[in-house]
């Protein structure tokens, strides 16, 4: 069983998948930082100095000024600001994957057309049977054929 697992784990596609997952996680962290640290602060500033990570709907009867204070008190909240960040994060990752797949598809070579093979059979003009291209007489109707080369 250990030998089978080793063979499975060492296959090229499993290693490729593992590398892809690791790179995907790292790319996800970069995109998260891009969204939270570079994109959302200017957008929040344009929208009236709004901090999206601090947008929440308090479901308890107490009043909290920040999401951190609500979480510290154990209050139930709907964190729609963090949800907006996650949606923007997803859209950026989806766009990057789309662009990557589009480029890979462009780089893939189109298979070259296979040249048509020379015909190996012809039709008897008398009985319409299929016969060899070099035949001088039809094996079906025994008609003598005119050879055209």
Tell me which residue range forms the domain holding 120.
116-149
Asked whether residue 36 falls in the same domain as residue 59, the answer is yes
Asked whether residue 63 falls in the same domain as residue 99, the answer is yes
| Residue 61, in any domain of the structure | yes
Both ends of the chain: CA-CA distance in Å?
66
Look up the pTM and report it.
0.52
Residue 26 is part of a domain; what is its CATH number? Answer: 1.10.1200.120
pLDDT the model gives residue 25? 86
pLDDT the model gives residue 148? 63
Asked whether residue 57 falls in the same domain as residue 102, the answer is yes
pLDDT the model gives residue 149? 55
The whole-angstrom distance between residue 30's C-alpha and the CA centroid of its chain comes to 20
pLDDT the model gives residue 130? 92
Where the chain has pLDDT below 50, the residues are: none
């Amino acid at each position: 069983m250990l030998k089978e697992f080793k063979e499975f784990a060492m296959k090229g596609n499993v290693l490729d998948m593992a590398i892809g997952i690791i790179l995907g996680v790292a790319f996800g962290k970069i995109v998260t930082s891009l969204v939270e640290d570079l994109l959302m602060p200017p957008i929040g500033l344009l929208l009236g100095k709004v901090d999206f990570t601090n947008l929440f709907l308090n479901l308890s009867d107490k009043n909290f000024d920040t999401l951190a204070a609500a979480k510290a008190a154990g209050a139930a909240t709907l964190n729609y600001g963090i949800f907006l960040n996650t949606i923007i994060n997803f859209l950026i990752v989806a766009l990057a994957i789309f662009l990557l797949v589009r480029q890979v598809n462009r780089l893939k070579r189109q298979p070259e057309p296979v040249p048509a093979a020379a015909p190996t059979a012809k039709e008897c003009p008398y009985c319409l049977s299929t016969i060899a291209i070099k035949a001088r007489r039809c094996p079906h109707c025994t008609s003598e054929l005119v050879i055209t080369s």
